[in-house]
Amino acid sequence: MPAQRQKLKSLKYASSKIHLRRGVKFIVFLLVLTAGINFAIRFSQFRGFFQKTSDFKQTNFSFSKEIDYSYRVNFLILSDRDQRQEFGLLSYQEKEKDLDFFYINKKIYYNLPRVGWSNFGNLYEKEGLDGLAQGVEGSLALPLDGYLEVSEENFDLSESSLSKYVAQGGFIGGLSKIVDAKGIADHANSSLSWKELLSIYFKLAKVNNDNFSYNKLSDFTMDEIRDGTKYLSLDTKRLDNFIVENLSDPALTEEGASVEVQNGTNASGLATLASRFITNLGGRVVLAGNADEKIQETLIYKYSSKPKLISRLKGILPYKLEDKVGENAGSDFLIILGKDFSSSL
């Protein structure tokens, strides 16, 4: 009898182990199934984006050809609802999961390259996306990596709305909650591919409100009188100070590249504009002025091995690089502008 009881206990123990293993497997199955369903739901919310890649609005503006998240990246955001347009700049820094937004008042004036004295609203009305992109990039002196345009009555660029979107799981994560798959297919345009949209969706979903900053471009303006008329004009000095302190690229600031800029064209103001881009990105301009001679293409003389800054400038300043590493110079790089890059911003 003791032997039978021992055998019975062994059978019960083996049976309980089998049930336990089955239970664990079932729980794991449920967890995997839940994760799969959540992913499918999120993916379906953006299916409209992916299905519309061939219908994205065509643009001649030179956005970055490849988004590199080792740098701070910037996206132009447009909201068009009930014929009311809103504009903004979305700036994301991957390392710190840092997200900054600039609301762009349409009535702000700035002396833009090629266009002259104009405001952002007129630029968009007359020249569409290309004109607006040029105006935003040229006035803020920050490179644009892409754009996202949404024509949806429930989508706006107010501080309360964007903070809510971030709290709901990231900027685009919040967008996915208010625009269904069919709606976003019908009402959205972007220069980003479906892979890039998917990538930035998951990246921005990790941003929380503590790392989100909402700014207004109108906070960096001044009244300017022209021909007896008062305009709301962009104060680039105050704006650049803010950008350097809050939106410069940590990777480029850490690299600490020093640059001398010379204008070798007949177009005035190019050295100043190039210097703004370099400084706002995180570089350091030690000297800016006119070149002794005019040249036909932009040259960069490289005196040290600091590749990050000039790599980020490539989309703004098409250039020919000449390696001078080892030679004595007063800076890490000498940029001689040979073409008017402002016309292609």
- pLDDT tens digit string along 164-222? 877 776 555 555 544 443 344 455 677 877 778 778 878 887 888 889 999 999 999 99
pLDDT value, residue 72: 96
Q: Name the least confident of 39-43, 87-91, 123-127, 135-139.
A: 39-43
* CA–CA distance, 60 with 143 (Å, rounded to integer): 15
Six-digit token string for 340: 């008017």
pLDDT value, residue 48: 47
Arch. (CATH architecture) of 50-220: 2-Layer Sandwich (3.30)
Six-digit token string for 251: 């990777």
Closest CA to 246 of 74, 120, 86: 74
Q: What does the domain layout of the chain look like in residue ranges?
A: 2-45, 50-220, 248-344
Mean pLDDT of 14-22: 57
Residue with tokens 């499918």: 40
Mean pLDDT of 29-40: 60
* CA–CA distance, 141 with 217 (Å, rounded to integer): 13
Six-digit token string for 152: 């949806």
* pLDDT exceeds cutoff 80 at 67: yes
> What percent of the chain is modeled with pLDDT above 90?
48
pLDDT value, residue 36: 60
Enter the CATH code of domain 248-344.
3.30.70
* CA–CA distance, 114 with 249 (Å, rounded to integer): 27
Q: Name the least confident of 34-38, 41-45, 51-55, 60-64.
A: 51-55
Residue 326 confidence class, pLDDT cut points 50, 70, 90: confident
* pLDDT exceeds cutoff 70 at 304: yes
> What percent of the chain is modeled with pLDDT above 70?
74
* pLDDT exceeds cutoff 50 at 8: no
Ramachandran region, residue 284 (left: φ > 0; alpha: ψ -120 to 50; beta: rest):
beta
* CA–CA distance, 261 with 68 (Å, rounded to integer): 25
AA identity, residue 76: L
Residue 264 confidence class, pLDDT cut points 50, 70, 90: very high
Mean residue pLDDT across the chain:
81
pLDDT value, residue 55: 46
What are the start-end ranges of the H helices in 188-325? Answer: 194-204, 236-246, 250-255, 270-281, 307-313
- Give one DSSP letter per residue of 299-341, joined into a string: EEEE-SS-HHHHHHHTTTS--EEEE-TTS--SSSEEEEE-S-G
- Which residues, 6+ apart, have CB-to-CB distance to 180 below 8 Å? 45, 48
pLDDT value, residue 60: 62
pLDDT value, residue 140: 96
Distances (CA, A) of 204 to 168, 171, 183, 201: 11, 6, 21, 5
Six-digit token string for 120: 């952002």
User: What is the distance between the terminal CA atoms of the chain, rounded to a whole angstrom?
Assistant: 93
* CA–CA distance, 297 with 341 (Å, rounded to integer): 10
pLDDT value, residue 116: 84
Mean pLDDT of 99-120: 90
Mean pLDDT of 138-167: 84
> Which one has a higher pLDDT value, 170 or 145?
145
* pLDDT exceeds cutoff 90 at 283: yes
Six-digit token string for 80: 């068009």
* pLDDT exceeds cutoff 90 at 111: no
* pLDDT exceeds cutoff 50 at 53: no
Global pTM value = 0.80
Distances (CA, A) of 95 to 32, 71, 164: 29, 9, 23
- Radius of gyration (C-alpha) of the chain in whole angstroms: 27
Mean pLDDT of 158-162: 86
Work out the number of other CB atoms within 10 angstroms of the CB of residue 50.
Answer: 15
Residue 51 confidence class, pLDDT cut points 50, 70, 90: very low
* CA–CA distance, 114 with 312 (Å, rounded to integer): 23
- Which residues, 6+ apart, have CB-to-CB distance to 241 below 8 Å? none
